[in-house]
Amino acid sequence: LSLEERLASYVVEGTKEGLIPDLDLALQKYAPLEVINGPLMAGMSEVGRLFNNNELIVAEVLQSAEVMKSSVTHLEQFMEKNETAVKGKILLATVKGDVHDIGKNLVEIILSNNGYQIVNLGIKVPPEQLIEAYRKEKPDAIGLSGLLVKSAQQMIITAQDLKNAGIDVPILVGGAALTRKFTKNRISPEYDGLVLYAKDAMDGLDIANQLSN
């Protein structure tokens, strides 16, 4: 197998044997984020496909997630850090009912390496917890992640609850269940706050930078 195929197969097989040396080898050729977005994400897509076809069980997908997390943790130390003044503070959460956090944690890494102070509230975060955290932290924006189809609906509820609580900072949304259509017009007819969709972590950084300018 080529290096790229081996990297994808660690994720698909859920095995870490040989992973770190191969990640180090990949770093001679690619930037850390290219390794994540390229072969590792290709492996994750394959896991999603196999899982969808009932060829993998949840326990196996969890092992794949572990490999992805270890890889990201290892690669993080090699990522470029932009030591600028703090550009803003962002609350980050996976919405209520959703446990997927690899993408959200990647967003945290990218944003915090680029001048943002991140308060990561974790997974399955209900609107009430976000409202409480907003009052304590006074962030400049709120980032919501969700991968399940039902999480898109949960984001609408969350945005509306935040608005009803008088919170009007921009909301950044991302995750596999969403598309760019999921913005101001779609979030709900009455919702008039600013909601911006990011397709990946770098897109999230671009949007945050536009907001902070």
Which positions are catalytic?
98, 100, 151
Q: Mark the segment that binds ligand B1M (CB under 6 A) among 61-69, 77-85, 126-134, 180-188.
A: 61-69
Choose the stretch contacting ligand B1M; rule: CB under 6 A; options: 1-9, 146-154, 158-166, 183-191.
146-154
Burial of residue 21 (CB within 10 Å: 0-12, 13-18, 19+) is exposed
**Cβ-count burial of 68 within 10 angstroms (0-12 exposed, 13-18 middle, 19+ buried)?**
buried
Select the residue interacting with ligand B1M from 26, 162, 167, 198 (CB under 6 A): 198
Q: Which residues pair with 92 in a beta bridge?
A: 120, 143
Q: Rounded to an integer, what distance in angstroms lies between the CA atom of residue 98 and that of residue 112? A: 23
Burial class (CB in 10 A: 0-12, 13-18, 19+), 137: middle
CA gap 179, 39 in Å, rounded: 23
Stretches 13-21, 23-31, 76-84, 144-152: which one binds ligand B1M (CB under 6 A)?
144-152
Among 5, 18, 81, 99, binds ligand B1M (CB under 6 A): 99
Q: Which of residues 41-60 bind ligand B1M (CB under 6 A)?
A: 44-45, 47-48, 51-52, 58
Binding site residues, ligand B1M, CB under 6 A? 44-45, 47-48, 51-52, 58, 61-62, 65, 97-104, 106-107, 143-145, 147-149, 172, 174-176, 198, 200-201, 204
